[in-house]
């Protein structure tokens, strides 16, 4: 984090031909809120690695390599082998107060709030949920960006996805916007338009790819940086740097991060307008099959069936450990984890639901298409490639995937081999296991088809990967993946998608007449 911030400051000074102090003031004016940064250390013409070691924000543990993103500089008046300079006593006093900021949760007034936020993130439940039904009227902190928006947060029996209460004659019990009685014939709208319409929700149990992890490249590309670049920063952080509202499975808003939004939810909604708001994205950054902590909001007796996408596409083979192969999920562990999760789903999903298991991705695509390209941090001076970034993260043991983000071709191949073994476990589960309340299907992660489709559209493979982390699927990849998944379902599992509601146009017409949307 320190290396990133200092790199941006140094590049801002270079791009605007200003002092480092002026560059920091410029950055602080861009970012919501005010932050004090020590500037006189950076003025010494040291690169970001040296500055961050001087600030004690980076360190070298005994017996561990010295991790650096930039080449070691030659520091005058010091031996050539010395990589970083120690700050003098006055700087140390400032560093101490700077470091204390990271312990903000230690303050008594904030301790309870911090614990509540940790609980929300750990359990994937809305921070603001007054009636406790797991749905919220607040967008972030696991609110309606992640689950359908609650339409009455003071009534635990009102929430998206439930079957209508008495055909919603008096109020909208399932938040799909359809309620009341048609004055022409006295028939409730919900009964007229949604009875027998195969209404169903869509749920995702996934990892950071499913949550749609994204760090905006304009946050660190100084040639594009302005106050507008950081306008979405508070929202991004309270959504854990995830953007589920634009994601492949549960996206429902027009994308503001490039590309376009196309999702399984939107297509199901277009197919049947009664499915409005019935979505749940229960994904988490770093999630493994062994730790899928379910917080599904589904009542087997009161709610509609659902399509559940079970997709942990990489974390079972991805970790930041030096001996990465030893820390990968084994086929035996995968079988146990997934069967246990499916048994949980069988005890919670209404009858008539569907579960789709998604295979793991072949992550060799990442190195093959990115390693020699310049990272956003390296575009100004053409000095940081993705290969350098991967090595830096691997040295820090925080690489999102040491097995794929490596120059070691043998290791990349072994990682893909394990991923294929785990995908085969999922395929066999879908073939052989039977459950009372849902049928089960398997599909490969559609990376190859996505790349082929994007190539036909004139795109380049690297554009399918998030530019900042160099690891996750981009917004373009998410939208194209939706189209491929939908076509497969239409041709191979038409029963999963339900029938098209013939009353969709009438529903929309009534909404427009009443001034709704």
CA atoms within 13 A on the CB side of 7: 21
Residue 153, judged by CB atoms within 10 A of its CB (0-12, 13-18, 19+), counts as buried
Spatial separation of the C-alpha atoms in residues 202 and 485, rounded to whole Å: 14
Quote the longest CA-to-CA distance of the chain: 91
Check if the beta carbon of residue 464 is closer than 8 Å to that of residue 454.
Answer: yes
Decide if 143 contacts 260 (C-beta within 8 A).
no
Q: Is the separation of the CB atoms in 136 and 129 below 8 Å?
A: yes
Instruction: Find out whether 441 and 357 touch, Cβ atoms under 8 Å.
Output: yes
Question: Reduced to 3 states, what is the DSSP secondary structure of residue 57?
Answer: coil
Name which of 268, 32, 255 is nearest 145 in CA terms: 255
**At residue 204, what are phi and psi to the nearest 5 degrees?**
-120, 125
* H/E element, 383: none
Tokens of 227: 């106050």
Please identify which residue in the block is written with the tokens 């508070």.
Answer: 234
φ/ψ of 240, rounded to 5, equals 65, 30
SS3 at position 193: helix
Do residues 468 and 217 touch, judged by C-beta distance below 8 A?
Answer: yes
Instruction: Exactly one of 199, 208, 247, 399 is catalytic; name it.
Output: 208
For residue 464, give the nearest of 252, 210, 259 by alpha carbon.
Answer: 259
* Residue 405 and residue 393 in contact, taking contact as beta carbons nearer than 8 Å: yes
- Is the CB of residue 367 less than 8 Å from the CB of residue 412? yes
Dihedrals φ, ψ of 203, to 5°?
Answer: -130, 145
Question: Around Cβ 12, how many Cβ atoms within 10 Å?
Answer: 22
Is residue 402 part of the annotated active site? The answer reads no
Question: From CA 321, how far away is CA 316, in angstroms rounded?
Answer: 13
Q: Which residues pair with 357 in a beta bridge?
A: 310, 442
Which residues does the annotation mark as catalytic?
A: 208
């Amino acid at each position: 984090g320190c290396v990133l911030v200092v790199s941006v400051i140094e590049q801002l000074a270079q791009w605007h031909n200003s002092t480092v102090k002026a560059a920091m003031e410029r950055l602080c004016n861009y970012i919501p809120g005010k932050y004090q940064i020590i500037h006189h250390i950076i003025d010494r013409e040291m690169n970001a690695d040296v500055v961050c070691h001087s600030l004690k924000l980076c360190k070298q543990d005994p017996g561990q390599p010295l991790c650096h993103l930039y080449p070691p500089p030659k520091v005058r008046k010091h031996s050539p082998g010395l990589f970083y300079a120690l700050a003098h006593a006055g700087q140390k006093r400032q560093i101490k107060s700077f470091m204390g900021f990271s312990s903000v949760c230690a303050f008594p007034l904030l301790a309870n709030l911090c614990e509540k936020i940790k609980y929300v993130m750990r359990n994937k439940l809305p921070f603001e949920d007054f009636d406790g039904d797991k749905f919220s009227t607040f967008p972030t902190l696991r609110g309606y960006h992640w689950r359908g928006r609650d339409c009455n947060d003071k009534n635990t029996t009102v929430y998206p996805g439930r079957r209508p209460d008495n055909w919603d004659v008096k109020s909208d019990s399932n938040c799909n916007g359809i309620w009341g009685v048609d004055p022409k014939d006295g028939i409730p709208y919900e009964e007229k338009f949604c009875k027998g319409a195969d209404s169903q929700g869509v749920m995702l149990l996934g990892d950071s790819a499913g949550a749609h992890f994204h760090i905006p490249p304009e946050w660190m590309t100084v040639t594009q940086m302005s106050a507008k670049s950081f306008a979405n920063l508070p929202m991004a952080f309270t959504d854990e740097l995830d953007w589920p509202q634009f994601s492949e499975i549960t996206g429902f808003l027009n994308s503001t991060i490039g590309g376009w939004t196309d999702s399984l939810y939107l297509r199901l909604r277009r197919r049947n307008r009664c499915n409005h708001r019935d979505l749940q994205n229960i994904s988490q950054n770093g999630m493994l099959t062994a730790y899928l902590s379910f917080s599904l909001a589904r009542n087997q007796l009161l709610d509609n069936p659902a399509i559940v996408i079970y997709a942990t596409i990489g974390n079972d083979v991805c970790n930041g450990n030096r001996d990465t192969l030893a820390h990968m999920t084994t086929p035996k562990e995968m079988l146990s984890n997934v069967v246990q999760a499916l048994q949980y789903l069988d005890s919670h999903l209404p009858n008539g639901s569907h579960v789709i298991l998604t295979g793991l991705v072949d992550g060799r695509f990442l190195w093959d298409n990115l390693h020699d390209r310049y990272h956003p941090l390296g575009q100004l001076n053409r000095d940081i490639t993705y290969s350098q970034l991967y090595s830096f993260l691997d040295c820090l043991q925080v690489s999102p995937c040491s097995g794929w983000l490596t120059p070691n071709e043998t290791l990349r191949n072994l990682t893909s081999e394990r991923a294929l073994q785990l995908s085969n476990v999922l395929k066999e589960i879908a073939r052989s296991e039977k459950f009372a309340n849902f049928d089960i299907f398997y599909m490969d992660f559609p990376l190859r088809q996505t790349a082929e489709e994007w190539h036909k559209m004139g795109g380049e493979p690297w554009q399918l990967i998030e530019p900042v982390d160099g690891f996750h699927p981009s917004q373009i990849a998410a939208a194209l993946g939706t189209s491929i998944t939908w076509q497969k379902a239409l041709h191979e599992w038409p029963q999963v998608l339900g029938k098209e509601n013939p009353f969709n146009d009438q529903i929309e017409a009534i909404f427009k007449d009443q001034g709704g949307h």
